[in-house]
Amino acid sequence: MKKTEAGRSRLFTRRALVLGGVQAAVFGVLAGRLYQLQMVEADRYAMLADENRINLQLLAPERGRIFDRFGQPLAANQLNYRVVLVPEQASGVAETLAALRAFLSLSPEEEERIRLEAKRNRGFVPITVRENLTWDEVARIEVNMPDLPGLSVEVGQRRHYAYSALASHVVGYVGAVSEKDVEGNSDPVLSLPGFRIGKNGCERTFEGALRGRAGSRHVEVNAYGRVIRELARDNGVPGDDHILSLDMGLQEYVCARLEDHSASCAVIDVVNGEVLALASVPAYDPNVFARGVTNPEWEELIRNPRAPLSNKSCSGQYPPGSTFKMIVALAALEGGHMSPGEWVFCPGFMRMGNVQFHCWKKGGHGSMAMIDGIMQSCDVYFYEVARRVGVDNIAAMSRRFGFGEILGIGLPGEKAGLVPTSEWKLATYGVPWQKGDTVVIGIGQGYMLTTPLQLAVMAARIGNGGYAVTPTLVREIRRRDGTQVATPREFASLGLKPEHMALVRDGMNRVTNDKRGTAYRARIEEPEFAMAGKTGSVQVKRISKAERERGVIKNENRPWKDRDHALFVGYAPVSEPRYAVAVVVEHGGGGAATAAPIARDVLREVQRRDPARRTGPALAAPGRVVG
């Protein structure tokens, strides 16, 4: 009996010791873990707790503004009034919306969106009911706010374009961020609801500088995510302001002058390359895109046969027609292929094999020297010049005047045009270049393609005596800290002989100021404003031999799409050139009848608006431009 009790006692003691050991081990582990949490990792968990209690929220920066050369705002930031709904503060979402209908018209789609957001989100999360409220709408809602529980009016910012369609292709517009915009872009501000970025024009080209740097605010929240208070705020860095070279007074005049056409016009300072006007009509209202374009509005824009969304001034590509003849003449003179006084007889056509290439003047011009060929725009004369010079030499001269390349004005969609060569045709079509191809290049048709901006640059380089001026659109960038950024510009000489440039300029002067010139009727009669220029017409529909024998139908009697394009390039004043212009009127008929009068009025207006610049400094020395 005693042995049994002693055994039980020892067994109990062992079990008690084991249990005590297990308990001690457990408490040791717990104590170690508590020490680790409270002492070793205390800072880490304190930080995590703060992050759970304190939220970091991004703040959209103020977008940089865009101005014209005289400080007129082209793209600015306006107050955006919006009404928001906090569901938990409302007596009921449906009841509140019903009460709001008395003061604000809501579509069924808008109400459905609001109800869905109310179901998805927590009750304290604000829901945007409507943006871009008018002041009258804001006033009605504010006056009746006691009867509209859960609703409030907030103030934000929206992009506004004061000149609407007048500069839409240059300034562009902002739009909602798409998935494509986010790809490869790590800027977290793009994820902000309602954030908008540049989609076209300068808004897109200079997006990074205009956007600025996002700010942030630290807010304390409770366990449900409700904001308790704001702890700190950093408003970020506003975007840079951009001052363009555009003169909006002149731009408005140009657009009004082009209004009845599908056309484009570029006006350039021949001394420093600043673009004073760059118009493409018809255009579109960028404010529509800034607020969000509707499907009917989009359909109307894309179905318009005159392509209002296209920036014709630097994206439209057209054969240059007879405005190209100065380039052909310079290629001949510089290469020694023809002397200025050499005569070519024009009977109204040139025969090459069994093909006839016609002059625009049916009866012919008779004997023509180079200056006469430019003045009267004789096609046969330039057929012969091109035949002697060859396409590759013409192409080389073309490139010296800015054709066949992106000029780098800084607008999306700028096209390079096309300067064909014998090698290009063989590579593109697999057939060799033909003599007939060269002949039609001599009058700026065939494969040759240019943009109105390139034509204006050509006129500027001729007008300034042969300097490689390039178009610039941004005069200055102003940061909000007061610093200014301006890019100095230097232009090298094209290396052409002065006597050859003088002959071409004399020919262009006679086009407008000699009674035999093709644009004499469109001349500027004030001597101090006198312009030099060159007309051009480009066939859109090929005229067959049968049609020519029956009699060519006049442009005004053809369907609009079959009419010739009308072109004109020029510069003014003749005595001391300062401004160059190029006008292209799609299906406008003859260059002398349609494009030249527009260019005349524009060149007169740009000189009238800025008379001080006519007597300002000109080219100081080869390679450097001042003014």
pLDDT digits (tens, 9 = 90+) for 52-95: 566 666 677 889 999 999 999 999 998 888 888 888 878 788 88
Same domain for 259 and 386, yes or no, is yes
Q: What is the pLDDT at residue 464?
A: 95
Same domain for 589 and 565, yes or no, is yes
Same domain for 327 and 464, yes or no, is yes
Query: Does residue 250 register a pLDDT over 90?
Result: yes
pLDDT tier for residue 617 given thresholds of 50, 70 and 90: very low
- Would 15 be classed as within a structural domain? no
- By CB atoms closer than 10 A (0-12, 13-18, 19+), residue 212 is buried
- Would 22 be classed as within a structural domain? no
Number of domains in the chain: 4
- Rounded to the nearest 10 degrees, the angle between the axes of helix 452-463 and helix 325-335 is 50
Lowest mean pLDDT among 175-179, 284-288, 341-345: 175-179
Same domain for 135 and 273, yes or no, is no
- Catalytic residue check, 322: yes
Mean pLDDT of 96-100: 86
Catalytic residue, from 322, 377, 398, 537: name it.
322
- Identify the three-state secondary structure at position 266: strand
- Better-predicted residue by pLDDT, 17 or 534: 534
Give yes or no for a contact between 627 and 490, defined as CB atoms under 8 angstroms apart: no
Same domain for 112 and 180, yes or no, is no
Lowest mean pLDDT among 145-159, 221-235, 341-355, 522-536: 221-235
- Would 19 be classed as within a structural domain? no
pLDDT digits (tens, 9 = 90+) for 489-503: 678 899 999 999 999
* Owning domain of residue 580: 253-300+311-614
Mean pLDDT of 376-402: 97
- Would 434 be classed as within a structural domain? yes
Give yes or no for a contact between 171 and 202, defined as CB atoms under 8 angstroms apart: yes
pLDDT digits (tens, 9 = 90+) for 107-157: 888 888 888 888 877 776 678 788 778 888 888 888 888 888 888 887 778
Query: Does residue 619 register a pLDDT over 70?
Result: no
Identify the residue whose tokens are 């956007």.
211
- Does the pTM surpass 0.85? The reply is no
Question: In whole angstroms, what is the distance from residue 409 CA to residue 383 CA?
Answer: 33
- Would 244 be classed as within a structural domain? no
Give yes or no for a contact between 65 and 159, defined as CB atoms under 8 angstroms apart: no
Same domain for 95 and 67, yes or no, is no
What residues pair up with 54 in beta bridges, in sequence order? 220
- Would 380 be classed as within a structural domain? yes
Run of H or E including 175? strand 173-176
Give yes or no for a contact between 418 and 317, defined as CB atoms under 8 angstroms apart: yes
Question: In whole angstroms, what is the distance from residue 365 CA to residue 370 CA?
Answer: 13
% of the chain exceeding 90 in pLDDT: 56
Q: What is the pLDDT at residue 229?
A: 72
- Would 171 be classed as within a structural domain? yes
Burial code (b: 16+ CB inside 10 Å, e: under 16) for 506-524 equals bbbbbbbbbeebbbbebbb
Give yes or no for a contact between 276 and 247, defined as CB atoms under 8 angstroms apart: yes
Last residue of a domain, which of 182, 213, 244? Answer: 213
For residue 51, the 8-state DSSP code is: H
Question: In whole angstroms, what is the distance from residue 479 CA to residue 210 CA?
Answer: 10
Question: In whole angstroms, what is the distance from residue 312 CA to residue 452 CA?
Answer: 8
- Would 144 be classed as within a structural domain? yes
Question: In whole angstroms, what is the distance from residue 353 CA to residue 332 CA?
Answer: 24
We report the CATH number of the domain holding residue 321 as: 3.40.710.10
Last residue of a domain, which of 124, 139, 160? Answer: 160
We report the CATH number of the domain holding residue 178 as: 3.90.1310.10
Query: Does residue 473 register a pLDDT over 60?
Result: yes
Q: What is the pLDDT at residue 599?
A: 97
Q: What is the pLDDT at residue 613?
A: 42
Average pLDDT across the chain, whole number: 86
Mean pLDDT of 451-458: 98
Same domain for 133 and 196, yes or no, is no
Same domain for 513 and 475, yes or no, is yes
Same domain for 143 and 173, yes or no, is no
We report the CATH number of the domain holding residue 92 as: 3.30.1390.10
pLDDT tier for residue 616 given thresholds of 50, 70 and 90: very low
Same domain for 155 and 168, yes or no, is no
Question: In whole angstroms, what is the distance from residue 435 CA to residue 550 CA?
Answer: 28
Query: Does residue 50 register a pLDDT over 70?
Result: no
Same domain for 361 and 414, yes or no, is yes
Question: In whole angstroms, what is the distance from residue 73 CA to residue 92 CA?
Answer: 44
Task: Determine phi and psi for 138, rounding to 5 degrees.
Answer: -60, -45
pLDDT digits (tens, 9 = 90+) for 574-585: 999 999 999 999
Task: Determine phi and psi for 186, rounding to 5 degrees.
Answer: -95, 0
Q: Which amino acid, residue 230?
A: E
CA angle 620, 622, 623 (to 5 degrees): 100
Question: In whole angstroms, what is the distance from residue 295 CA to residue 279 CA?
Answer: 26
Same domain for 228 and 263, yes or no, is no
Question: In whole angstroms, what is the distance from residue 588 CA to residue 578 CA?
Answer: 27
Nearest Cα neighbor of 150 from 91, 66, 204 is 91
Q: What is the pLDDT at residue 4?
A: 66
- Identify the three-state secondary structure at position 378: coil
Burial code (b: 16+ CB inside 10 Å, e: under 16) for 24-44 equals eeeeeeeeeeeeeeeeeeeee
pLDDT digits (tens, 9 = 90+) for 548-570: 455 556 666 677 677 899 999 99
